Structure 1
């Protein structure tokens, strides 16, 4: 079962929205059910403007046990759709499991699949699942690739819940660097979905289907760099929120609410790392806008990798302490010697009461001495407490001196009218967040213009999305001054505020 789950959606994960910059040349489906296959094919035909009149050749009619090149024995068909099939097979020469994509030689995409597989095989980057062979043999074309039985798909990881900040950081860092290296060699993925990302037992992420998955489906892109960058942003978004950043559900993930647009991850789920949230928004296509402050969108995997490298490193969570197992006695301690008996005492057995201890003259004298010391200490403490209280009452009863002017009047400074305190500066205050809360508009709180104002960042709930207890503004009065009252004007409805 573990091997099947690793490769079953190698090329069959076609659910969900495509990146905005990618398009399909022919109808494809997700391979999870026949009904979904038909539905996906019709929808893709409608999107790509095809009428479906060109019949796609059927996938090769092979069975388990069939051998390719007298070497690769087919074991289990994991995908059969759109004129090709994918198999788990055994390389009998090297005695290892492999994956095989099969299609007929007269398939309209057979040549492009062979070219993509051979180009991918030349990359030789261990961060990608390697293509081992690409062969045209008679009326068959097949591609052989690695099979990783100990790896887990990102789809399965997200089914258990969102990733923590460190795992999401490692995901976007490793995937963006790998795709940047592939694009430098002229290779694009164009089908970078949760089913195409695997995490090994050592925590390393690997990408499968580079160029091949898109060629099998006939997917092309006018801007392959932008398409793969957006796909990485979607993976990071899903890892942070366990939501797919489009309106439709996909890969076992719920889509976003309709008519709300692209919501930042830290406003979808509480506790999301702010830096990773902004990074996902910079990578995703958002009609030319991002949710980050004055940060340019990332349009290539290389730009995204550099943005990740510029972030403060996110450390893994502290390991949880596991209590040691209960102490096990050694062999010679297994007996009952030196331990109380587990059997209850007999009811007829008399209970022996020990005699009271004998009191000597020395013990009686010591008892009286201790009692006398305690009484003396208590009396001394009571006397000191009373003296302190009397001194305080005496000090509070003295009259307050007043100053007399030369004319004989009393100088009462409290009667002078108060004056406005001049504000010389202001700074945003966000100690529980990322330390920044609209710093560019803090000057509006004291400029005297009622048409200008300062607002916080956008939050979709009254409790700041459960991210913090509040934000504010710190006013600079130039020096230490005594303030009698403060007048503040607010916009909108009721607002909770503290001074």
Structure 2
């Protein structure tokens, strides 16, 4: 007979390649935008870095407060809320509207532009109130006039932020992720250019008063707004390429009304979040002039690692999550939630640990330059204390995406309410909790983290209530291992940092080197331990890298592409039956394979005639009584159990099977060939179907007679290792036999990364009646009832997958050995009795519930690692009953003891070579098998008797409870009292008794795990020893006695006490009033104004302080606010001829009440952090002598004014002369 042609399925799209699965598409989308997102985060961080170093803390705080208004509205409302609602609504419009949602997009864009324009105008009108009394109060330390001026210039950015977010959402629904990912990069590039121009523009922003015409102010405000406009406008070319029409169209669409219904929830969400943000910014601005800048940039620094990982994943997964939610596919939503949570936690926990331990060093390395060097360490401390908030923050964002995808707009309101409440309470107490004003911003960061923690807890509770079981057990185990590995890596990092002396490195460049070395050490140790712990994601990454580097050989080829000639018709999933026999039907559908979703009880098609691919009982109560409650990891009751990817034909390539033997040549001639096409080369068009009821299979018109092709014999799937079934959800690993039309397989759950047991019901599609009492669907329904039973002797039923003919029962995998393998080891009779006792207990529970287990074949039973006999492959057949299970219990006990099967196939007169690999037992003249005691004399009488008598219903054993009771007694009575022998030193204990049926292979694997755990414990022990050693060394260096004769409390300095102020100069002894002077005056070669945070004050008059003329003075600028509201201070840097050790500084000044500090500098152009304080005083009217004390000679001396004299609300200080005295 001629071999039929091999035809590949034609995909649904025009491309020639096979369509990718949902996970592959998600991976590709994530990879395509990862680079853009990374560059966006890096350039955005560079922008924030330049803002601080170029503007300084005072101006930067005003700018950040002003820019907070458009950012708060745009990013929170549009970026987090509106975009999440637009995506699912646009998808539905694309699916439901005849024009693919084009009209809806036009109306949406028109309405959004109008609302944003009105909001921008209102913001401009309310700028003085918002900037002067809401975000920054008038009595705070941030300049309110500058904040109001910048608000006028930055408010128009609100319109462009909104349109950019809307354009990105529209492009995302078209699967165009790249333009939206690159748009923020363009914004950041423009902003960096603007800051460079600002730095090169001469002069400084005038603050007393602030003038809107100031060039630097205009460059800063209008330039940043231009960057945001660029972000929105650069998306227009991509909009045009995808043929999206943005012409204005007025009108109210039904879906726009849905926005109106959600509007109240959105407005409430925004108001609640605004309250928390306003409180935090107010508290920060009142306590510290640099508070808003530190608070905002600490959070921006935390966002840098999260943005690359978390946002990338969420951006790509949002359309997929929205489609699953729109299809009401709860299992797919839960799967996406679990995957996103696990991947985010694996990436975030090590980063959070590193930032917590190395926060101050990170602050110095990144921000310790130019005008912000004095506050860089404080910013790093804020990062260190608030780094933990990344964990709950990422969880909250994942939860919000799920709620918005399910169009539950009110649910996030409860989450943000919990977040804001906790945040406000702790923020209000921040000035009380903090030790001083510098620590207030640290407490604000902690308040943010605790608020998100509360939000994560609330979101988890609400998700559990909405979705049911969230399957977080595996996630919890993974998080625990990652956390322990990260802590160990952090401990090693601290030890290396101390031993190598990196903790003594200072300065921006030195701190950067320290951070790089510490990060390499910590992440290497942490991810190495994760690899040893066997975290699947880390293992996959390391294996892929090692294969790329050639360290590990390539993955083995399963040989699925080299199928032998006899198996060329194999398929890898349940095959669609050939039920389409009308001329319009394209024969290419024969080559598509799929798994049908569950059809709910009582469901009907569009005609109302309940025409389904298989018969479904229409009586809800009857069906529910038969199927019982759904017990599954994949669904809540009433939700299809099949993977969402299997809802539609996936275009998988298979091969057309051969014709049935009874087919004739004429039938082949009449049937249309699969390669037939129209004259234009196109295939026949598919018949229309009703989109309101789509089971993934076209409805079968009853009026069209079947063609000859429909009479061909149906061919079942060829199940082979490595094949995927159930829409790619499960990958087959190994077959474990079968029984009476069932096939048993061990498989891997791809999504949840766990092994499962699959029972294929009618895999060969030989059942003539699909829905009768003995049909496959009835088998699936009866088996689903077993999910309610929780017993060691029954593998828990997780799910059932219903197909057009037959289906799959998914159960937990039972590690161990098959019954045949265990019987071949000749186990002890007592051990066998204990094993079957667990199976009898499960059978009794099933019988009490009105069901049965179908204990009818040895291939169904596996012996678990704990020695229990488990029904590993559930599948309750139609002829199964309680008496049959009792008979099966006796047969399993008999087989386990004797390695023989005591039941003949086909009745007493049947015969077979083997059953499940077991030979048939020897039978006596009466047709009953010989007793186990005759084969193995050591078998106790009770065990032998129950094995034989359970096989016949008239022998006294009629219930599973009786079997369980007798086996319990037999196993106890037969126990012997053993004396524990004395073991000599080094002698091994004897092997455990033979009554245990524990699997030797599992014991070997357990020993391997124990050995690996031993090495981990050794490593942790060594690590602990190193930590203890460092602590001992530190304490010894502190408390060990030295050569000094001072008391111990004067010798010890562990850095926990405040520095002692320089002592005043000693007065001359009372008995020698005419003592010679202890210092001599020094000449000064030059003086210059030192103003690191703005233009020098009175630079031309700086030399007046050296002429020793009280009539000529140098004055600071006149300020309306006291230092450090605008700047930290201003001063005079004097240059001496040679380095000298100063003893006294005399300042002549008419500005009584001014506060000055005397500092030494190593260079002529230092930063304030590079100077060293040697004395301080408050100036009086006239000459003020300031005693100083220094251990090193210095050439450059700074007179640093930290407090100005107050004269009628005007703050200004004047200095007439300065004199320096040094030791002779």
Q: TM-score range by the shorter chain?
A: 0.3 to 0.5
TM-score (normalised: structure 1)? 0.44
Higher relative contact order (CA closer than 8 Å, sequence separation 6+): 1
Greater C-alpha radius of gyration: 2
Give the structure with the larger helix fraction: 2
